[in-house]
């Protein structure tokens, strides 16, 4: 069984040299929380310049769904690089972009035809959805959720409500956006209990918001993550999206689903919204779509994507190499990796819930497939957030060769590549348990 190998103090000498150079020349706005320099990687294993080997349970922030440098993806990239690097799909045609659009349209979550807009990132996919919703509906208002993260460009940032630092000094943002509470059952904003709550977090829209401050006939779209990502890997109750979708339909409001982090097989289905009874008109995709190459896509019903030529475009969006990587990625997802995400996700959830019985600091374990959140608390009764403990666990795991990240205020995000094996899950659980025991004896 492969295991992390830490041969030097962390950071090692070569890593420290590189980090010192980075500090001189790279933007300080990036949030590096531990000194990892990735030199090479394969599958879930990352090597640094000093010869240390780490088990990666971040998959590059849920991007490398097929694992690092999957041989089939690498081969597709090399083959395409020999044929065509760039021709700008906004002004010309080329095969990989056309074939990928056809494939993504075929994956649409509902009946009827779909069309695809290509960008370079999740933020661009959301930005495109934001603009299309305004264009199609001619309405100016939009709804989004507290805890949501939709990106950092100005439109996507206006929809975001994750951390105040992300908006600090950037106001005024795009007007006309109202944020509402998400279906966060572990910390219900209405202090109710599921299922007795009768999904009050959704019915509040009609009972209060639409009656008092937001005319529903002026709302273009509801922007929502099927599972909140940066907000804490929050899985809403089963009826949440169904009821919210019904409300949107009632008032002619577009249902825009941000699948940037939850999509592309991560939850065991191509899109996380497939776990719920809702058929969004627009889906934003990125992260895991191209196994590490920059690509974003906005998939919308064909009758909704009715904007005119020149209304929106991107020079690099839908780059030939990224599109070819995406086609190979989707093939691998459909062939075996979505099924593996389901099986390995069940193994992870089972192991984590066993640990929850032994460690009082684990307040909640939640997730679907390989999108799992572990929320740490200082007291299970009061649910006092343990953000500092969460950060200590991440650092302790890093020193043992396990890469983790946080999300929300006090949650650990577990999002390994969809290629993860049973043995790699066991290694993760072993190191995670060791880290908890050493910190919380």
Residue 134 maps to which CATH number? 3.40.640.10
Q: What is the pLDDT of residues 188-238, one digit of tens each?
A: 999 999 999 999 999 999 999 999 999 999 999 999 999 999 999 999 999
Q: What is the pLDDT of residues 167-189, one digit of tens each?
A: 999 999 999 999 999 999 999 99
In sequence order, the 6+-apart residues with CB closer than 8 A to the CB of 375 are 186, 232, 362, 363, 364, 365, 366, 408, 410, 411, 412
The domain boundary, picked from 267, 298, 332, lies at 332
Task: Verify that 64 and 76 share a domain, yes or no.
Answer: no
Nearest Cα to Cα of residue 321 among 31, 153, 85: 85
* Domain membership flag for residue 158: yes
Q: What pTM was computed for the model?
A: 0.96
Range of the domain at 135: 72-332
Residue 390 maps to which CATH number? 3.90.1150.10
- In a 3-state reduction of DSSP, which class is residue 195? coil
Q: What is the pLDDT of residues 244-288, one digit of tens each?
A: 999 999 999 999 999 999 999 999 999 999 999 899 999 999 999
The region of weakest confidence among 13-22, 104-113, 386-395 is: 104-113
**pLDDT(109) > 90:** no
The domain boundary, picked from 296, 316, 332, lies at 332
Number of domains in the chain: 2
Q: Can you tell me the distance from the alpha carbon of 69 to that of 9, in angstroms, rounded to the nearest whole number?
A: 27
pLDDT for position 209: 97
* Domain membership flag for residue 406: yes
Task: Verify that 293 and 159 share a domain, yes or no.
Answer: yes
Task: Verify that 182 and 103 share a domain, yes or no.
Answer: yes
Mean of pLDDT over the chain = 97
- In a 3-state reduction of DSSP, which class is residue 221? strand
* Domain membership flag for residue 171: yes
Q: Can you tell me the distance from the alpha carbon of 18 to that of 193, in angstroms, rounded to the nearest whole number?
A: 50
**pLDDT(16) > 80:** yes
- The pLDDT > 90 percentage for the chain reads 98
């Amino acid at each position: 069984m492969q295991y992390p190998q830490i041969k030097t103090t962390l950071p090692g000498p070569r890593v420290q040299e590189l980090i010192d150079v980075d500090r001189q020349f790279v933007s300080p706005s990036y949030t590096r929380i531990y000194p990892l320099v990735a030199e090479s990687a394969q599958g879930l294993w990352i090597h640094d310049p000093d010869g240390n080997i780490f088990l990666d349970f971040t998959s590059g922030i849920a991007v490398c769904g097929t694992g690092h440098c999957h041989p089939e993806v690498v081969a597709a990239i090399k083959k395409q690089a020999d044929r065509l690097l760039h021709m700008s799909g906004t002004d010309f045609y080329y095969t990989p972009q056309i074939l990928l659009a056809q494939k993504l349209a075929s994956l649409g979550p509902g009946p009827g035809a779909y069309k695809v807009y290509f960008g370079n990132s999740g933020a661009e996919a959301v930005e495109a959805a934001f603009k299309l919703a305004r264009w199609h509906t001619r309405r100016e208002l939009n709804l989004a959720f507290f805890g949501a993260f939709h990106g950092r460009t100005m439109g996507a940032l206006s929809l975001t409500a994750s951390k105040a630092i992300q908006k600090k000094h950037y106001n005024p943002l795009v007007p006309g956006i109202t944020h509402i509470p998400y279906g966060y059952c572990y910390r219900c904003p209405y202090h109710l209990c599921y299922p007795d709550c009768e999904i009050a977090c959704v019915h509040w829209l009609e009972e209060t918001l639409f009656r008092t401050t937001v005319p529903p006939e002026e709302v273009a779209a509801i922007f929502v993550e099927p599972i909140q990502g940066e907000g804490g890997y929050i899985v809403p109750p089963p009826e949440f999206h169904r009821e919210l979708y019904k409300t949107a339909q009632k008032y002619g409001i577009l249902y825009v689903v941000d699948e940037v982090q939850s999509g592309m097989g991560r939850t065991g289905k191509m899109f996380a919204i497939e776990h719920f009874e809702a058929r969004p008109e627009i889906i934003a995709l990125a992260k895991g779509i191209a196994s590490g190459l920059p690509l974003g896509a906005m998939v919308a019903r064909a009758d909704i994507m009715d904007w005119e030529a020149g209304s929106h475009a991107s020079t690099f969006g839908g780059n030939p190499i990224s599109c070819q990587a995406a086609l190979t990625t989707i093939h691998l997802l459909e062939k075996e990796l979505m099924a593996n995400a389901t099986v390995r996700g069940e193994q992870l959830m089972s192991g984590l819930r066993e640990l929850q019985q032994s460690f009082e600091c684990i307040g909640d374990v939640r997730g679907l497939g390989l999108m799992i959140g572990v929320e740490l608390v200082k007291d299970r009764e009061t649910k006092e957030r343990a953000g500092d403990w969460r950060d200590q666990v991440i650092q302790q795991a890093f020193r043992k060769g396990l890469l983790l990240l946080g999300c929300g205020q006090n949650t650990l995000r577990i999002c390994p590549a969809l290629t993860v094996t049973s043995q790699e899950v066991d290694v993760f659980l072993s190191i995670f348990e060791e880290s908890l025991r050493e910190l919380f004896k």
